[in-house]
Amino acid sequence: MGRTQRKKQRDADEGDEQEVHAQVENLRRWLRTYAQAEQSGRAAPLTEPVLAHLEETIEALRVSDDDLRLHLDTLRRNAARMEQERARYRELLDLSPDAYLLTDLEATIVDANAAAAELLGIDRLDIAGRPLSASVDPEDKPIFWEWLADLQTPGQPLQWEMRLSGTGPEPRHVVVRARHASEAPELLWMLRDISERIRAEETERRLRQERAERQAADTAAQQARFLARAGRLLNEAFGAAAVAEAVVETAVPTLGRVALLDIREADGREARYVAPAGELSGRLSQPASRDPGTVVGSVLRSGELDVIPHLSDVQREQIAPGATHVLDELKLHAAVLVPLKRKNVVIGVLTLLGETVEECSARDLLLGKAYGENAALALDNARLFLEARAASRAKSDFIGYLSHEFRTPLTSVLGYADLLESETAGPLTEMQRRQLSRLRAGAWHLSRLVDDTLAYSREVISPPALELESFDVRQLGVECVHALRPAAAQQGLTLEFSAPQYPVTIRSDSGRLRQILLNLIDNAIKFTTVGTVRVAVEDREEHVQIDVQDTGIGIPARQIERIFQPFHQLDDERGGSGLGLTSARQLVWRLGGEISVSSTEGVGTTFAVRLPRDLPHPR
């Protein structure tokens, strides 16, 4: 039975009760009036009809009273049963985790279950009469008022989400379902707390974001490692062909299952490099067409990367002339064409092939572009290196030719000077001897310049292969000291040598090491006016060290970094080509060693040469 039906029944019962009471009251008034009239002697005697009417009325009242009592008992039992049902429903509602409320049309709370009191943070005894809007978060109140306006007329239930505040440090998220009561001017509300769900969704979103960030970081690290490895491989390759092979081999399989590089060689010939080379040897070697309108020709002209998810028959023939069956056999249906640009000039096209574009770097085109830039740089550097080596060889040939042309007349000058000094053509005067001595000194100085220039040309510009052998460094040091002891004695210097009492054997190029020592010892003698030049061999655990120490003029601190530069001279008056130390450093580097210098101006200088005991990989 609905609320309206129950109200109508109550109104009918109240009407019946009022009618009985009215009849009783009328009878009482009549009896009082009759009694008063009888007392005053004005009462007429009761006739049979009157008595009969009274008896009927009394009987009717007795029957109505009995019916009313029975009905009232029924009503009481029904009311008690309804109260029990209501209490049962209230208990059921109190067991619900969702909040249920009954409000008036202005959302003032009339009744609520326990969950609603807990959700709103209000004692249940105090919840009636509280406005629901007082618990709505300030930021969501405009939304609440909009929905409340829509609830003023009966209709379908409405649902939305909002936040409740004032029950904790953070607002509570709820989903609201409400409707206008169909039989009364009231609103029925159901509020479900979804704060945990919101927090779980936020946590999941944050975890997804963190996973995405970690994945992006891992991907970036992998890409960085790939590019670093690719850079090392490309830099280690020597020569244009080797670099081109490294470009395609490094690209597989990270950037594609198959890689094709179409470039133009230095002689103008079109060439193609393929990887993996073993599996595809000779099968895709025909260079792609560069004509306008072809896929490779278009990339060469536009300089833009091209992604082809599905190769057409025409495009397949353009990429693999006469070998489209190989693409079918390997299921290569997609391609990414990367232009290799250097200084805005496309020097080649790298074609990456796979079954899908995801297999050929389309997942990260930036990686493909970055690799293309590195490959273009390596190819361009290889070209520049070849050009520089050709220029260096031409310069070396020129210096060698020029030095040879100098040496021929110098040999004649020195030969005739020796002939004159022997007085074969006649005796010399003292002045002629002094003049001849100056002539010989100048010729020897020029000869030394020619020797230094030839050594620089031979070891720095175009070095020949090393001649490795095992030898005793002590013996080599003794030979160099003996060779230059006359020059030291001529300047009044003492030339000393010290070494262990046992052989100090290394595997290196003895001729180059002899040249290094002679250069350093000669330099020390040249810049020492008084004192001693010491040569010491030290046997260390992992290497051998040779020190050349002098008590000469020393090197200013500002010039120490420059002494190994070509043509740099510490003192122009002492002569020299300025190439000796440059050649010495280059020779030490080729022998896998290091050379260092320490000096105090006015006290002296020490050059230290450290060489490995073995040279497995000559430079």
For residues 595 and 584, the answer to whether their CB atoms sit within 8 Å is yes
470: exposed, middle or buried (C-beta count within 10 Å: 0-12, 13-18, 19+)? Answer: exposed
- The string of pLDDT tens digits covering residues 430-442 is 888 778 777 766 6
Range 500-504 average pLDDT: 92
Do 96-193 and 463-612 fold alike per CATH? no
For residues 258 and 332, the answer to whether their CB atoms sit within 8 Å is yes
CATH of domain 225-383: 3.30.450.40
Range 118-130 average pLDDT: 90
Please report the pLDDT score of residue 542 as a whole number: 82
Please report the pLDDT score of residue 381 as a whole number: 76
Backbone angles phi, psi at 162, to 5 degrees: -155, 180
Residues 6 or more apart whose CB falls under 8 angstroms from that of 112 comprise: 99, 100, 101, 102, 120, 124, 127, 128
Cα separation values, 567 from 462, 555, 570, 573, 583, Å = 18, 16, 10, 14, 11
The rounded percent of the chain whose pLDDT value lies above 70 is 75
DSSP 538-598: EE-SSEEEEEEEE-SS---GGGGGGTTSTT--S-GGG---S-HHHHHHHHHHHTT-EEEEE
Range 369-386 average pLDDT: 77
Range 150-169 average pLDDT: 88
Domain boundaries, the chain: 3-92, 96-193, 225-383, 463-612
Most confident of 139-143, 451-455, 575-579: 139-143
Most confident of 131-145, 220-234, 264-278, 371-385: 131-145
Is the predicted pLDDT of residue 448 greater than 80, yes or no?
no
Of 251, 485, 219, 225, which is closest to residue 364 (Cα–Cα)? 219
Q: Which fold has domain 96-193?
A: Beta-Lactamase (3.30.450)
- The string of pLDDT tens digits covering residues 295-341 is 999 998 998 989 999 999 999 999 999 889 999 999 999 999 999 88
Please report the pLDDT score of residue 572 as a whole number: 47
Is the predicted pLDDT of residue 573 greater than 60, yes or no?
no
Please report the pLDDT score of residue 1 as a whole number: 45
CATH class of 463-612: alpha beta
What is the pTM for the complete model shown?
Answer: 0.43
- The string of pLDDT tens digits covering residues 55-77 is 677 666 666 666 777 777 777 78
- What residue type is assigned to position 274 of the chain? V
543: exposed, middle or buried (C-beta count within 10 Å: 0-12, 13-18, 19+)? Answer: middle
pLDDT band at 496 (very low <50, low <70, confident <90, very high): very high
pLDDT band at 364 (very low <50, low <70, confident <90, very high): low
Residue that the structure tokens 């830039």 belong to: 373
What mean pLDDT is reported for the chain?
80
Least confident among 116-120, 311-315, 424-428, 447-451: 447-451
